[in-house]
Structure 1
Amino acid sequence: MAEKKLDGKVAIVAGGAKNLGGLISRSLAAQGAKVIVHYNSAATKGAADETVAAIKNLGSDAFAIPGDFTKLANVEAVFAEAKKQFGGIDIAVNTIGKVLKKPIVETTEAEFDEMMAINSKTAYLFMREAGKQLNDGGKIVTIVTSLLAAFTGLYSTYAGGKAPVEHFTRAAAKEFGARGISVNNVGPGPMDTPFFYPAETPDSIAYHKSASMNGKLTEIKDIAPIVEFLVTDGWWITGQTIFANGGYTTR
């Protein structure tokens, strides 16, 4: 039997229960990794348990663990449990995010604080702990958004909340690079998941589709292989944001 690329490796996937995170969890497991499936709240526990079961059916191992990653203590606790159960950690993938589509003048202070906490603070805290806990030669990947390369309104707190992650990534790539740890972002286009639709209208959905090269939304199956590449053969890439969106935006 051919050796799998991630045999003997351990991965934490933040937001790893469903949608893109769930597919990333399963794809890393298919390459041999043991996976810690993080989820945020009780509402997602069922999906997390299903993902763990799917991973075990693939012949790997996994466990699910909850935590609000806007709190450092929760991030630390998940990494600590990962090391307790599986030993060292090699891969840390963060898929956490929240969309708000709203004019700036209508955005409340509470909405701003929540969006910055979910899209920016969680990424920083996750990256911080990964930098402390990952084995030498580890890999860190954050899911951002292709709106980082867009000239548009209405997504100020979503794209704005993800924007700092690009510098967090560059800084971490420099700071962790001596240990052989690569740090990158993947910016999908609008994805055909339940995450996307609540903020949109039929007209805006049609526009988003029209902006890609084939008139379709990004699918999770378009993104998971890129994450898999970055944590395996693409290890020499670091400090980068890769826009994977069918031509939706570019720099």
Structure 2
Amino acid sequence: MSEQPTTSRRVAVVTGGSRGIGRESAERLASDGFAVVVNYAGNQTEAEAAVSAIVAAGGQAIAFRADVADEAAVSALFDVAEKTYGGVDVVVHAAGVMTLAPLVDTDLDALDRMHRTNIRGTFVVDQQAARRLRDGGAIINFSSSVLSLAIPGYSAYAASKGAVEAMTLILAREMRGRDITVNAVAPGPTATALFLDGKDEETVARMAAQPPLERLGTPRDIAEVVSFLAGPARWVNGQVLRANGGIV
């Protein structure tokens, strides 16, 4: 899909934008007036469905496949955004993978895969964003509330998200003088395929009961936070927002 470059609206790149929180964030930003580049790793059908939904609602969007840990592919992703829409203002880095097991049983190949996508992927995407975002923009990474909850079985995943938080806080300070905010969203238990996969009903019900609001989060709940950080939240910078319904 090709469109003529335009500077009439702000532009967002959303990684992991074909499903779950990424897709909901892409659709929300489109409804906020952004032109959106939906990045996906492999599921072209889902990515095109996300684009179709945005366009049907009157927005602008294209899909582009890129492995977030591949610097050449991510550079090409930004090239397409700039060629199609004239620049990039907001990057929402929602792509991530999760494998759960006690530390003692964790498969090291799974550990390496999580670190490649969640740590290297964040570093690569943020590096391109830092180089190419227009002044006044925003970088929004994704961490997880499991860092503060210390749930058994999440050691490898939480370790990867700890690295995301460290990068986020430091990059915010490195962007001094650019009027670019850098924050991370740390969802709690959220009803996505990534969270629900492999969990029985009892486990899901127990985790849903943890917040004072007594339910799982939804992708829409998290997309509201993304919208806030991408738009009006210009004085929120270098922060991790734990969007988890009040779990302590």
- TM-score (norm: length of structure 1): 0.92
Q: How far apart are residue 191 of structure 1 and its match?
A: 0.8
Instruction: Note the 1:59-138 alignment, pairs <5 A.
Output: 59-138=58-137
Task: Determine helix, strand or coil for the equivalent of 1:180.
Answer: coil
Task: Determine helix, strand or coil for the equivalent of 1:93.
Answer: strand
Distance 1:151 1:225 in 2: 25
Match of 1:52 in 2: 51
Task: Determine helix, strand or coil for the equivalent of 1:37.
Answer: strand
Distance 1:202 1:61 in 2: 38
Match of 1:8 in 2: 9
Distance 2:196 2:100 in 1: 11
Task: Determine helix, strand or coil for the equivalent of 1:184.
Answer: strand
Structure 2 residue ranges without an equivalent (≥5)? 1-6
1:129-186 CA deviation, whole Å, 9 max, x = no partner? 1000100111000121111111232101111111111110111101113100000011
Query: Segments of 4+ in structure 1 off by > 4 A?
Result: none
Distance 1:108 1:155 in 2: 13
Distance 1:107 1:54 in 2: 38
C-alpha RMSD of matched pairs (Å): 1.4
Q: How far apart are residue 201 of structure 1 and its match?
A: 3.0
Instruction: Note the 1:153-168 alignment, pairs <5 A.
Output: 153-168=152-167
Match of 1:200 in 2: 199
Task: Determine helix, strand or coil for the equivalent of 2:193.
Answer: coil
Distance 1:28 1:34 in 2: 8
Distance 2:232 2:134 in 1: 17
Number of equivalenced pairs: 242
Stretch of structure 1 that moved more, 182-191 or 100-109: 100-109
Structure 1 residue ranges without an equivalent (≥5)? 1-5
Match of 2:209 in 1: 210
Distance 1:169 1:222 in 2: 21
Q: How far apart are residue 69 of structure 1 and its match?
A: 1.1
Task: Determine helix, strand or coil for the equivalent of 1:16.
Answer: coil
Aligned residues of 2:213 and 2:246 also touching (Cα < 8 A): no
Aligned residues of 1:120 and 1:162 also touching (Cα < 8 A): yes
1:34-71 CA deviation, whole Å, 9 max, x = no partner? 10000001xx2111111111211222211101111121
Distance 1:201 1:175 in 2: 43
Task: Determine helix, strand or coil for the equivalent of 1:77.
Answer: helix
Q: Percent identity?
A: 33
Match of 1:139 in 2: 138
Match of 2:236 in 1: 237
Aligned residues of 2:11 and 2:34 also touching (Cα < 8 A): yes
Match of 1:3 in 2: none
Task: Determine helix, strand or coil for the equivalent of 1:136.
Answer: coil
Task: Determine helix, strand or coil for the equivalent of 1:153.
Answer: coil
Match of 1:189 in 2: 188
Match of 2:32 in 1: 31
Q: Quick one: structure 1 residues 7 and 148, their matched pair in 2 at CA, closer, same or farther if it must change by over 3 Å?
A: farther
Amino acid at match of 2:11: V
Amino acid at match of 1:73: A
Distance 1:203 1:7 in 2: 49
Task: Determine helix, strand or coil for the equivalent of 1:137.
Answer: coil
